[in-house]
A = this chain, B = another copy of it.
């Protein structure tokens, strides 16, 4: 199978210079989708003709660039299922805020990408473009796969546990989970309201930074920048032993290349409070999910997957005292992490336990992502390394809350440092 993610930044430059028309770009996207969608299954809903029509009068930095939107975001002109049969045929009244922002920036939203059920664990139909026998990861399965397969240069996802960084790692593309509260979640079907975070996919760091800059009007771009070498902490949590040998090697390869390129690299242990915070993530998530999906749980229990129903059942048993204690633990860990990130610019950690697991029965494990979602800090999958099987192995760059531009620049620096490492 041949696939190639397409640089959205390069497409924007081509359109800007008149080398490509928006119609050319859309035709290419259509051709790639026609070739691969039957295998990959990235889209829940697709309407390129309508999108082309709607974008006819568009202008802005995303003008002519096709975008996929995870089907947990409301769209007024497309069905929105949240990955659940309960919402089959549902058509929201209004667009989610990020959808409006992308349209304002001129983007052409061609379809809704496959999500796991309510962005939790029950998989959808999507396959990994690198090897269709493997999961693309989740819950933003379709968004990651559509970008990795070159169907769209840009896609939007969400992360509550590990739903952006993990699929980006499995599919070999850039995935960026911004600082908590940077991007509005208005019009996103909530699962856990203090954890749900809007995230972005693109071929590489320059591309994803261009995309989010265009959508938000913030200068988060990394192209053209020549960032200095960051101070890097290769961070081991209590879960380090859960990473595969190949993933540990990938981290060490990335650290070695970073050091060779001039970065100060230290190894640190994040134990104690941070392992408590890891456990707190699940308590907070499940308690909130049981409230956020209370209506579905009580009225359509039979239409929920077993894994979600069990989680909501469990969530209802979590006491407010345990929930409050988990929130206090999270707050304490955030302060401790802030202190750690005065000594270092970024943490370098695994994006996932290893390469994408075989089969489609599970979207893989979020254990290397949950802590960073709970901390509310920017987390970025840096692509470039590979397992012996040829499947991608992403490394994760974690920065300080609110320092998204600095973190993207460090991720770009690392991406350059490790390029050619395979």
Residues of A whose CB lies within 8 Å of any CB of B are 76, 86-87, 90, 93-95, 97, 99-101, 104, 181, 184-186, 190, 193-194, 216-218, 288, 291-292, 294-296, 298-299, 320
Cα A104 to Cα B316 in complex, Å, equals: 11
The answer to whether B100 touches A291, judged by C-beta atoms less than 8 angstroms apart, is yes
Write the nearest CB–CB distance from A400 to chain B, whole angstroms.
15
A-B contact pairs, 8 of them (CB 8 A): A94-B295, A94-B296, A100-B294, A100-B298, A184-B291, A186-B291, A186-B292, A218-B320
Neighbouring B residues of A294 by C-beta, 8 Å: 95, 97, 100-101, 104
What residue of chain B has the Cβ atom nearest to residue A181's Cβ?
B194
Query: How many copies of the chain does the oligomer comprise?
Result: 2
A288 B184 Cβ-Cβ under 8 A: yes
What chain B residues lie within 8 Å of A299 (beta carbons)? 76
Give the interface SS of chain A, mostly helix, strand, loop or mixed: helix
Assembled-state Cα–Cα distance A295/B99 (Å): 9
In the bound complex, residues from chain B placing their C-beta under 8 Å from that of A217 are 320
> Which single residue of chain B is at the shortest CB-CB distance from A183?
B291
Contacts of A190 in B (CB 8 A): 184, 186
Chain B residues positioned under 8 Å from A298 (CB to CB): 100, 104
Q: Shortest distance in angstroms between A302's beta carbon and chain B's nearest beta carbon?
A: 16
B97 near A87: Cβ-Cβ < 8 Å: no
| Alpha-carbon distance A334/B99, docked complex (angstroms) | 32
Question: Would you give the shortest CB distance from A191 to chain B, in whole angstroms?
Answer: 9
10 new A-B contacts, CB < 8 A, other than A76-B299, A186-B291, A216-B320, are A87-B93, A95-B294, A97-B294, A99-B295, A101-B294, A184-B190, A184-B193, A184-B292, A186-B190, A186-B193
Query: Smallest Cβ distance from A323 to chain B, in angstroms?
Result: 10
Task: Report the Cα distance A209→B135, complex, angstroms.
Answer: 49
Contact B76 A295 (CB under 8 A): yes
Closest 4 CB pairs of A and B: A100-B294, A94-B295, A95-B295, A186-B190
Interface centre among A86, A217, A288, A291 (most CB of B within 10 A): A291
